[in-house]
Structure 1
Amino acid sequence: MQIALGMWEKGFLLLWSAVLIMYPTSLAVIALTFSNYVLQPVFPNCIPPYNASRILSMVCLLLLTWVNSSSVRWATRIQDIFTAGKLLALALIITVGFIQIFKGNYEELTPSNAFNFWMTPSVGHLALAFLQGSFAFSGWNFLNYVTEELVDPRRNLPRAIFISIPLVTFVYTFTNIAYFTAMSPQELLSSNAVAVTFGEKLLGYFSWVMPVSVALSTFGGINGYLFTSSRLCFSGAREGHLPSLLAMIHVKHCTPIPALLVCCLATLIIMLVGDTYTLINYVSFINYLCYGVTIIGLIVLRWKKPKIFRPIKVNLLIPITYLAFWAFLLIFSLYSEPVVCGVGLIIILTGVPVFFLGVYWRNKPKCVNRLIGPGTKIKASLIS
Structure 2
Amino acid sequence: MLIKNMQLLRSIGFFHGNILLFCVTTGAGIFVSPKGVLKYSSLNIAVSLSIWAACAVLTIISALSLAELGTTFPRSGAPYYFLKRSLGSSVAFLSLWIKFFMYPLGIATQSLIISTYIIQPFYTRCPAPELPKKCLALAILWSLGLLNTRGVLTVAWFQTISVLMKITILCFISLTGIVLLGIGKKENVAKFENSFDAELPGASQIAEALLQGLFAYSGTSILINIAGEIKNPGENIPKALITVLPMVAVVYVLVNISYLAVLTPQEIISADAVAVTWMDKVIPSMQWVISFGISTSIVSNICCTVLSASRLFYTASQEGQLPLIFSMLNNYFSPTVAITQIIILASCLIIASDLINLIKYSGLATWVLRGLYMIGLLKLRYQDPNLPRPYKVRLPFVFGSIAISLFLILTPMIHSPKIEYIYGFIFIFSGLLGYRLHVHLNQRSVCFDKITCYLQLLFNVSPPEDQDERISTGKKHLEEIFL
Cα distance, 1:337 vs. partner?
3.7
Q: List per-residue Cα deviations over 1:227-263 (Å, max 9, x = no partner).
A: 111111111111111111111111x221110110111
Task: Check the 8 A contact 1:75/1:223 in 2, yes or no.
Answer: yes
Cα distance, 1:115 vs. partner?
5.5
Q: Equivalent of 1:133, from 190, 209, 213? A: 213
1:12 aligns with 2:88: no
Amino acid at match of 1:246: F
Q: Point out where structure 2 has 5 or more consecutive residues left out of the alignment.
A: 1-82, 461-483
Say which SS state the counterpart of residue 262 (structure 2) adopts: coil
Cα distance, 1:178 vs. partner?
0.8
Map 1:180-199 to 2 at 5 A.
Answer: 180-199=260-279
Distance 1:157 1:125 in 2: 34
1:275 aligns with 2:357: no
Q: Equivalent of 1:209, from 284, 289, 292? A: 289
Say which SS state the counterpart of residue 41 (structure 1) adopts: helix
Say which SS state the counterpart of residue 192 (structure 1) adopts: coil
Task: Check the 8 A contact 2:118/2:288 in 1, yes or no.
Answer: no
1:376 aligns with 2:452: yes
Cα distance, 1:168 vs. partner?
1.6
Distance 1:212 1:59 in 2: 16
Amino acid at match of 2:85: I
Q: Which moved more, 1:107-116 or 1:96-105?
A: 107-116
Say which SS state the counterpart of residue 121 (structure 2) adopts: coil
Q: Point out where structure 1 has 5 or more consecutive residues left out of the alignment.
A: none
What is the percent sequence identity of the aligned residues? Answer: 27
Task: Check the 8 A contact 1:281/1:340 in 2, yes or no.
Answer: no
Q: List per-residue Cα deviations over 1:13-37 (Å, max 9, x = no partner).
A: 1111112x21111111111111011
Q: Which moved more, 1:94-103 or 1:318-327?
A: 318-327
Q: Equivalent of 1:295, from 358, 369, 374? A: 374
Q: Equivalent of 1:165, from 223, 245, 258? A: 245
Distance 1:314 1:238 in 2: 28
Cα distance, 1:349 vs. partner?
2.9
Distance 2:273 2:422 in 1: 31
1:54 aligns with 2:112: no
Q: Equivalent of 2:335, from 242, 256, 267? A: 256
* Change in CA separation of 1:219 and 1:85 when aligned onto 2, cut-off 3 Å: same
2:104 match? 24
2:316 match? 236
Say which SS state the counterpart of residue 349 (structure 2) adopts: helix
For the aligned residue pairs, the C-alpha RMSD in angstroms reads 1.8
Q: List per-residue Cα deviations over 1:256-293 (Å, max 9, x = no partner).
A: 10110111111111114x42623322211111101111
Q: List per-residue Cα deviations over 1:123-154 (Å, max 9, x = no partner).
A: 11211221222211111122100111112212
Cα distance, 1:363 vs. partner?
6.8
1:116 match? 198
Q: List per-residue Cα deviations over 1:48-69 (Å, max 9, x = no partner).
A: 1111111100110001101111
- TM-score normalised by the chain length of structure 1: 0.92
- TM-score normalised by the chain length of structure 2: 0.74
Distance 2:196 2:260 in 1: 9
Distance 1:3 1:192 in 2: 43
Amino acid at match of 1:4: S
Distance 2:303 2:147 in 1: 9
Q: Number of paired residues?
A: 374
Task: Check the 8 A contact 1:69/1:257 in 2, yes or no.
Answer: yes
Say which SS state the counterpart of residue 261 (structure 2) adopts: coil
Say which SS state the counterpart of residue 122 (structure 2) adopts: coil
